Amino acid sequence: MDGISNATQAAILDRLQEIFRAELDDDDLTIGMETRQADLKAWDSLAHIRLVNGVESEFDFQFNLSEIEQISSVRQFVDAIREHLQ
Amino acid sequence: MTEAAARPAAKLPVQALPWLPRPAGRMRDRIAALPADPLEALGAIRALAHAGWEEADLRQLGRKIRSILKSAPISLGAEARRHGLVPVHLLILSASTANHLADAIIATAIRFGFLLQLTIAEYEEPEPWLERHRDELKGNPPDFVLVASDGRMLRLAAPLCDEAAAARTVEAALAQTMRIAEVAGAATGKPVILQTLAGDPDAPQINMDRGLPGSPRQLASELNRSLALQARQAGHLLLDIEAIAGLVGQGAWSAGRYWYAAKYPFAVAMIPLYADHIMRIIAAQMGRSRRVLVLDLDNTLWGGIVGDDGIEGLALGTGSPLGESYAALQRMALAWKERGILLCVSSKNDEAIALEAFRNHPEMILKEEDIVAFRVNWDDKAANIKAIASMIDLGLESFVFLDDNPAERKRVREALPGVAVPELPDDPSEWISVFQAAGYFEQTSFSREDQLRAGMYKANAKRAAQLERIGNHDDYLRSLDMTLSIASFDQVGRKRIAQLISKSNQFNLTTRRYSEAEVAALQTNPDAVTVQARLADMFGDNGMISAVICLKNGRQWEVDTWIMSCRVLGRRVEEAILQHLVREARAAGASELIGRYIPTARNGLVRDHFAKLGFAKAGDAPDGETTWRLAVGEYSDKELPMKIEASASAGSASAA
């Protein structure tokens, strides 16, 4: 991965961090690229929709239904966001 | 005019709450900058909430409010109440998802001066939920229940063209909703808010459907119509989702894919508007709706500056598009006057010139006699609005101020935060829709008194002139030729009594709120002594102006509620009512009247009510609550400047 992509990834992760804290109602939560839905008890199916909605309003685009269904890790969120922002 | 100022700003959609000022800065930063002290933070949040924040921002703010309340000492509630923040507990019953609404509703509530405690039952039919939680509801009853029904919960479906089947379907859905309302109302003893159904953009869009029995559109519109009627008859409150969705558009209202993904009942972007409407209804029911519209003149009621352009130079009425739009604004104000809203004028102008426009401009729709108070001078507008408030005896929280000038709006907003000051689009032809969408004059009931209110305030102005002429207050009262009619609560007075109880904030000793159903129950309660009083004089009928509820506790009668309209302050009505109560108490063999004063941010007026009536102080709580007692044997009749007519049915003492 080149330097620019790494920078984008870090910037997206920063903004995701805030969204995760807000939507999962946990100010001390720290997420990383490797965090998966299975790792976070609060990340249930309804929280997932709040995360999706939070990401959509933060980054100003819409996921499609199959993405909403398939995303189950922070890495997948970051990848999907990068794809939509391109 | 510069080019920049002439360019109209993009029109904001209703869901952006365009009547509120636009937010400044990012919510995250604004929250980080809040003071550490919880009470100060809540005050700052209340001010912060007065802007058109988006759903995500409101959610952050609501979350902050929850976290402050969670970590705050228990005394915070009482302290917040003294600062005008009233705790309200709302239960939302939804068969769809609803928890995602919570924080945005909490943040919206604080804009209306409420600290909201929310209980949400989602994803479940309301009836079994209410059944399972019956005991909890008894222990901690919510102040309001919202039955958030939607098309999916009611499952409206009938075969096409079968009129009888369509009617049965609507009847069944209506019965289900009313049953839920009844169970919720019985469990909580509080008013229930019912929702109409939004039109479904996914249903067939055939033009004839509204008249076609069994079509989705016909079923929903029949249900909405019947629901609105039954809610009114049964004393429930109506949240008209169909109308709100119509304003923003059914497509925008619909949850779309969020229904499929998470059973959201409507689109996330609509949550601020939805929350605003819930709070309007609750505020109105709690006596916090607004009642006064203060209007600027130049470039607000007419186009142009009357002092410079002269009466003939004004844009008003037929002949120009601009003139037409100012005339429409005047018609809007007049329509609100007919619903009981008081119209006032505050304008920087020469009074004689301004009045000349009212008297002599042929296209003026508002006439001088439509305006309850004029403050036309070169003083500060905030000072003038305050002067109007004391002139007509209403709190600033009852006021809306309409002015085309952004600088004046900002100034009034800063000086008088209680006054609602709508933001206006640049183009006057767009003001009306923004103003109407703001719903400042939300009402949950409508009585004859509402329609007569402006006339009553006018009559008060005549009384003030009489007092000035006579000088001596006692002579003045005798000159009024007053008749006070006293009766216990009855069927005829019920609606107005319930309205007085829900709306009075200033002359209200305990600020206990009772629904119409509860008022009805008091009519036959043998342990309650109730009083309703009407006052008429030579200048007109003031209508029902006072309600009192006493609860018998052996030989002690406790004054549970004592309310009086501020219109009749200083007329010695309260003394006459006390005299009546004492007589009733003596006749029933009671020995003592017990009074209680519970302070709020708005009832300082009656702090010494019982002392003035000759009660002795019996208790003094640290939160400011005081108790009082009067031995009825020691009371001696007063000579009062009015005729008192107690109707035969007055007092339930004889029934006890």
- ipTM computed for the complex: 0.85
Q: How far is B23 from chain A (nearest CA, A)?
A: 16
Number of Cβ pairs closer than 8 Å across A and B?
A: 31
- Structural domain of residue A38, as residue ranges? 3-85
Q: Which domains does chain B have, with CATH numbers?
A: 3-285 (3.40.50.1110), 292-438 (3.40.50.1000), 448-655 (3.40.630.30)
Label residue B570 left, alpha or beta by phi (over 0 means left) and psi (-120 to 50 means alpha).
left
The reply to whether residue B261 touches residue A50, judged by beta carbons under 8 angstroms, is: no
**N-term to C-term CA, chain A:** 16
- Site of tokens 């006064």: B292
- With an 8 Å Cβ cutoff, are B268 and A25 in contact? no
Q: What is the arithmetic mean of pLDDT over A47-67?
A: 91
Look at B262 and A49 and tell me if their CB atoms are within 8 Å. Answer: yes
Q: Which of B28, B99, B268 sits opposite A46 (nearest CB)?
A: B99
Those residues of chain B that have pLDDT short of 50 are: 1-8, 649-656
Q: Helical H runs in B293-372? A: 306-309, 321-338, 351-360
Parallel/antiparallel/unpaired status of strands B528-537 and B482-487: antiparallel
- Contact criterion met (CB < 8 Å) for B258 and A53: yes
Q: Chain B: give the shortest CA distance to residue A49, in Å.
A: 7
Flag if B261 and A22 touch (Cβ within 8 Å).
Answer: no
Contact state of B268 with A53 under an 8 Å Cβ cutoff: yes
Query: Which of A45, A50, A68 has its CB closest to that of B100?
Result: A50
CA distance B574 to chain A (A): 53
Q: Do B28 and A18 touch (CB under 8 A)?
A: yes
Q: Which residues of chain B does A49 touch, with a Cβ-Cβ cutoff of 8 Å? A: 100, 258, 261-262, 264
CATH classification at residue A13: 1.10.1200.10
Tally of domains within chain A: 1
Residues A49, B261: C-beta atoms closer than 8 Å:
yes
Residues in A lying within 8 Å of B, measured between beta carbons: 18, 22, 25, 45-46, 49-50, 52-54, 57-58, 65, 68
Helix (H, G, I), strand (E, B) or coil at B195: strand
Q: Please tell me the predicted confidence (pLDDT) of residue B108.
A: 98
- pLDDT at A3 (0 to 100): 57
Residues of chain B with Cβ-Cβ distance to A20 below 8 Å are none
B108: nearest Cα among B69, B157, B57: B57
A37 min Cα distance to partner chain B (Å): 17
- Chain B: nearest CA to A47, how far in angstroms? 9
Q: Give the per-residue pLDDT at B515.
A: 86
Is the CB of A57 less than 8 angstroms away from the CB of B264? no
Residue B114 main-chain phi, psi, to 5 deg: -115, 135
CB spacing of A57 vs B55 below 8 angstroms: yes
Q: Which residue of B has its CA nearest to A62?
A: B257
CB-hemisphere CA count at 13 Å for B445? 23
Which chain A residue lies closest to B100 (C-alpha atoms)? A50
Chain B residues in contact with A52 (beta carbon < 8 A): 261
Please indicate if any CB of chain A lies within 8 Å of the CB of B60: yes
For testing the chain B interface, which of A49, A58, A64, A66 should be mutated: the one with the most B CBs within 10 Å? Answer: A49
Q: b/e map of B396-420 (b: 16 or more CB within 10 Å)?
A: bbbbbbbbbeeebbebbbeebeebb
Residues B595, A6: Cα–Cα separation, whole Å: 72
**CB nearest to B97's CB, from A46, A52, A58:** A46
Are B56 and A45 in contact (CB < 8 Å)? no
Q: Which residue of A has its CA nearest to B54?
A: A57
Using an 8 Å CB-CB cutoff, list chain B residues near A22: 59-60, 63
> CB-CB: which of A45, A49, A54 is closest to B56?
A54
Q: List the single residue in B with minimal CA-CA distance to A54.
A: B56
Instruction: Say which DSSP state B11 is in.
Output: P
Contact call for residues B303 and B404 (beta carbons, < 8 A): no
Which chain A residues are within 8 Å of B257, Cβ to Cβ?
65, 68
Amino acid identity, position B123: Y
**Do residue A57 and residue B54 have CB atoms under 8 angstroms apart?**
yes
How much is the pLDDT for B434?
97
Contact B56/A52, CB-based, under 8 Å? Answer: no
Region of B263 (left: φ > 0; alpha: ψ -120 to 50; beta: rest) is left
Q: C-alpha dihedral over B263, B269, B273, B278, to 10 degrees?
A: 30
User: What would the two tokens of residue B574 be?
Assistant: 């309260």
Q: Does B122 touch chain A (CB under 8 A)?
A: no
Please give the torsion angle defined by the CA atoms of residues B88, B89, B90 and B91, in that order, rounded to the nearest 10 degrees. Answer: -170
How far away is chain A from the Cα of B556, in angstroms, using its nearest Cα?
A: 52
